[in-house]
Each structure stands twice: as structure tokens, then as C-alpha cells.
Structure 1
Amino acid sequence: MANSSIRPSRQVAVAFMAHPDDAEIFCAGTLLRLAQAGWDIHIATVTAGDCGAQTGGPEEVARIRIAEGTRAAKIAGATFHCLGEPDGRVVFDRVALQKSIDLFRQISPTLVITMPMSDYHSDHEVTGRLGRAASFVYAAPNASEVPLTEGATVPYLYYCDTIGGCDRMGVPIEPTTFVDISEQIELKSSMLACHESQREWLRSHNGIDDYINAMRSHCSERGSQCGVDAAEAFVQHRGHGHPQDDLLIDLFAPIKQLS
């Protein structure tokens, strides 16, 4: 039987994603709800998305995409961060992990949303591993030279959805948690629209023309699974040491938890 968890007194959330626009696609509605509930919100990306363009050098593309991510985060009242790892070549190593831990020490999150560890894009999978590892160890005093915030603790940890709701083998993901974002879908769409550089890239590389409508359609599909107009789906990490109660369920009922 899972142990009950003590709700943290600090309310700090971070969406720890691979690329600018990942948060807007997968969890921005939930971030908006958290912000509206008084939480301090952060959006962090492991890369600047410097490979996400058909033209322009990596520094130019990174500059554009960081600016887009910053504008999108501002809509949610969030702070944007970027670790600067190379797009398309993210690896789980000591350097990338230490950057992740140091960032978590600066933010000291009590809620982390990161990427699934089985997804179509290897950057997403490695980011999920980095997010999981940093979540577990960042509050250990010797894990970083960045000063430890009072009250830092192992946070609630959730993995976000994937494009199409399937893992890298095409197997449907079974969410543990749905968050109703029906009232946030328009603002979420506005956040995603900030990433205007991605339309031509996604059209040419991924065969996706209207990425905003694709996002809205998927949120509608997830909403139909829990009886609302639009929803975001998550899988909660309940490994040893992490909180066992479903914080998002508690905060944002009515939402559905699958058995």
C-alpha cells in the first residue's frame, strides 16, 4: 500500500521539456491552471531547438526559438529557462544531469512535469530521464554547489503526453491523470502560436501543417475520455521516495483517474 504524502508548503512547478513548444503542446493548460491557483511557474527546455528549422545557422535558430519560448511563458506568467544542450543530440551524461540538477536547485520545484521515457523523439526520452533523476536527487545537500532552498524536497513527478498518445512502439499510453483545460484551451493555443517559426519546419519535416489545430484536436480527444471539452493527460511517477497521492487530481477535480 502506498504511503500518504505530506502536501508541500511551497507551490513551485516546472515543466522540464526537451524543446521550446513542448510545454505548449503537452502541458500548458495545466500550467495555466496552476498559475491561476497561485503557483510559481517555470518552463525549462534542455535544448534551444536549434535543429528545428530548414534555414539559418544553429545560433540564429536558437535565438529565435528562445525568444518564442520566452514570449509564450510570459503569457502564463512563467519564467523560461534553457540548458543549451544540442538539439537532436541530447544524451544522458554527467554534464547534462548536473545542469538539470543545478537548475532544479535554483527553482526548488515541488511539482515537476517532464517528458515520457518512451516517445517518438529520443530527445524527449532522454529529457524524461534527466527530469526523473534531477527530481530525485536535487534536494540532497551534496548534489550541487547551488545553495539549497529551505523546504526543498523530492517533488511530485508527472510524465506528459505524447503526440498521438502512443509510445515509441505505437502502443497507446494509459494516463493515470487527466486535467480539465476546457477554460484554458484558448490561452494555451495563444502560447503555442508564439512558436511561429515551427509551422514551416513541422510542415516540411514532420508533415504537420496546422500544429495548433492538431494540438486542440488531441486535447479534445483526451477530454472525451474524461467527460470534458478539452484535457491534458499525464502518468504520475510513484517510485519510492516520491509523493504517492495524486496532487493534480486533488487540485483540479473534477478530473478522472484511471484504475
Structure 2
Amino acid sequence: MAHPDDAEISCGGTLIRLRQAGWEVHIATVTSGDCGSQEFGPEETAKIRREEGVRAAHMIGATFHTLGEPDGRLVYDRQSLQKTIDLFRRIAPSLVITMPLSDYHADHEITGQLGRAASFVYAAPNASTEPLLEGSSVPYLYYTDGHGGTDRLGGSVEPSTYVDISEQIDGKIEMLACHASQSEWLRSHNGISEYLSATREHSVARGEDVHVAAAEAFVQHRGHGHPNNDLLSELFPLVERSDASKSVLQAS
């Protein structure tokens, strides 16, 4: 992800389901979110946001990482890519969820490019000086939903995959609530007054697409070299629920 809280907003429910299914989960951000404050300087803001990221990850037994690149000034270059590859070498991911290649925030798009590039090359022996772990290979790769379900120009994202998070929506919001520093920032800078309820409402809206109470949407990368079967759909097949959205809205 690009910033602390991006994972919780875009795929927190899916991460909870993966942990419940026995997966080892790592949440990694390219930046520490050092621009996400109207009150504190960059070092203090980054410290606060790293701590929030760690707390949210620990809620589900996940591990938090950050590469420490500058928030809002992220670029796709050899340094940021090598940091991403090196992290992948230390983890050897078999499933990668990264950010959309077209989204309102350039940091998100560049993060998606980094996730895509590192996924394809990290298992090549000469790509990093980090040891090559057994089992390293080109992973399943998914892009998260665009903000509000749209791309950078406001066009609708067409998901390839939905994950039912009806039973995980409250846990997703609890994880997001760990990022308390962002409430005022998003209100003042992005014009989002209630980002917890906004996140819940979008999950409910995505659930309506597939007739469940709440869902998260993804686009699978099926390019040459990557696995083509839809692993998330195989792990979490959709089962339509009656009166779905009403039950979640009542709980909000």
C-alpha cells in the first residue's frame, strides 16, 4: 500500500479473512504518511502513523512494514523499486494485493506499479542481494478498488473479484479506527467528514453488487507469468445473502 490506513480502507476485511484461514499476513506501506497532518512536522507525523499501522496490523496478528519513502512525493525509480523487491525477498509472498494503476492519488498509482514490478521479478536470483527463500515465485497479484469505485478520471472500476466481508466489516472498521490521526486530516484536506462511516458505506455498496451485506472489490492481474486462476474467489466463494445490506447498515 502507499500509506498507513490504505490497507484497512481497501482490503482490511479480506486480510482478516486470510488470517482466519491461516495465512501469514504482512501489511507494507511505501511511505510512512509523513504529509498526513496539519499539526505535526514530518518526523512526528511519520512516527505517529507508523505506530498506528503497527497497532492495526497487530489486531489481526499481521506484521507491519514501511519503506519510508516520502509521502505525496513518491516516484517510481530504482531506489523505491529495489526497496520493494528486497522486502518481497524477505517475505516471499505467494499472494500480493497492491493499489490500482489508475486512482485519484498518484502515490497509489506508483505503489501499484511498484507492487506489479516487484511481484514479477523478486524471485529472480539476481534481483536482490537478499537471500532467496525457498518457495519464492511469481505470486497471485490483485489491485484494490479505486477510491469510491472509480479510476483517476472518475470512470467506474470493473472488478474481476469480490470478497464477502459481511462478518468482517466491524473488524475492518476497528482496524481503520487505529489510524485516529487521519480523522482531522481527511476532514480538512480531503473533505471527508466521517471516514469510518464512508469506508463502511462503500463496503456496503460493493456488497450490493453481489447481493451480500458487505464486500471488497479487486481486479486480478492475469498477465504473462502470473497465475490466472482467481485464488481469492476460490478461497472465499460468494454465497448470496437475503436482506444483506440492511443488516450491516443497522449495525453501523
Residues 154-199 of structure 1 show CA distances to partners (whole Å, capped at 9, x for unaligned) of 0000000121100000000000000000000011000000000000
Kindly, what percent of the aligned residue pairs are identical? 69
Q: Which one has the bigger helix percentage? A: 2
Higher relative contact order (CA 8 A, sep 6+): 1
Q: Please report how far the alpha carbon of residue 255 of structure 1 lies from its aligned counterpart in structure 2 after TM superposition.
A: 6.1
Structure 1 position 148 matched with structure 2 position 105: no
Contact 1:177 1:255 in 2 (8 A): no
Q: Please report how far the alpha carbon of residue 39 of structure 1 lies from its aligned counterpart in structure 2 after TM superposition.
A: 0.3
Aligned twin of 2:58: 74
Aligned twin of 2:233: 249
* Partner residue of 1:108 out of 79, 85, 92: 92
Aligned length: 240
Contact 1:249 1:255 in 2 (8 A): no
Aligned twin of 1:165: 149
Aligned twin of 2:204: 220
* Alpha-carbon distance in 1 for matches of 2:238, 2:152: 30
Unaligned runs of 5+ in 1: 1-16
Structure 1 position 19 matched with structure 2 position 11: no
CA RMSD of aligned residues (A): 0.8
Residues 115-156 of structure 1 show CA distances to partners (whole Å, capped at 9, x for unaligned) of 001000000000000000000000000000000011100000
Q: Please, what TM-score do these two structures have when normalized by structure 1?
A: 0.92
Instruction: Give the aligned residue type for 1:115.
Output: M
Structure 1 position 136 matched with structure 2 position 120: yes
In structure 2, the residue corresponding to 1:135 is in which secondary structure? Answer: helix
Unaligned runs of 5+ in 2: 241-252
Aligned twin of 2:45: 61
* Partner residue of 2:28 out of 44, 47, 56: 44
Q: Please, what TM-score do these two structures have when normalized by structure 2?
A: 0.94
In structure 2, the residue corresponding to 1:157 is in which secondary structure? Answer: strand
* Alpha-carbon distance in 1 for matches of 2:60, 2:146: 21
Q: Please report how far the alpha carbon of residue 56 of structure 1 lies from its aligned counterpart in structure 2 after TM superposition.
A: 1.0
Question: Mapping of 1:77-92 within 5 angstroms?
Answer: 77-92=61-76
Structure 1 position 180 matched with structure 2 position 176: no
